[in-house]
C-alpha cells in the first residue's frame, strides 16, 4: 500500500480516528531531506501494508495541524496509535532506521 496525502481538513478522520497506527510525514517540496526519505517511506508503506498506514502532510499547504503539533523542522515523522501521539522522529534517516522505528512503535 502506497503512502497517501492528508490535509488539515482530513487529519482527524484519516489519522486520529484510524483503526490502524498511522505515521504522518510532515514535509515540503523544497526540503531535500524530505525528498530523500520519500522513496523509503513508500517502500515501508508497501512492506508494512495492513499493519500501519503512512501519510504525508505538506506543511506549505497545511499550516493548522503542523502548528498544533509544534512542527519546527522537517522532515518530522509522528506515529499515532488510537488517536494519540505514540512516537516522534525528527530528521532524515536511512530506510533501515525508519523501518525499525516504525516496527518498534506498532
CATH number at residue 88: 3.40.30.10
Q: What is the mean pLDDT of residues 35-51?
A: 94
Separation between Cα atoms, residue 33 and residue 96, nearest integer Å: 16
Separation between Cα atoms, residue 63 and residue 30, nearest integer Å: 16
Separation between Cα atoms, residue 84 and residue 103, nearest integer Å: 17
Give how many domains the chain has, as a whole number. 1
Neighbours of 92 (CB within 10 A): 19
Residues marked active site are found at 31, 34
The tens digit of pLDDT for each residue in 69-86 reads 999 999 999 999 999 999
The tens digit of pLDDT for each residue in 11-29 reads 999 999 999 999 999 999 9
Residue 64 domain boundaries:
4-105
Amino acid at each position: 500500500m502506497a503512502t497517501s496525502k492528508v490535509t488539515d481538513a482530513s487529519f482527524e478522520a484519516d489519522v486520529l480516528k484510524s483503526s490502524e497506527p498511522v505515521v504522518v510525514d510532515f514535509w515540503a517540496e523544497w526540503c531535500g531531506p524530505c525528498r530523500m526519505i520519500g522513496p523509503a517511506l513508500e517502500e515501508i508503506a508497501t512492506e508494512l501494508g495492513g499493519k500501519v498506514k503512512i501519510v504525508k502532510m505538506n506543511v506549505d499547504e497545511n499550516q493548522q495541524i503542523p502548528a498544533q503539533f509544534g512542527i519546527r523542522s522537517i522532515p518530522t515523522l509522528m506515529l499515532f496509535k488510537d488517536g494519540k501521539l505514540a512516537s516522534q522522529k525528527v530528521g532524515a534517516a536511512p530506510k533501515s532506521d525508519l523501518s525499525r522505528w516504525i516496527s518498534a512503535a506498532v
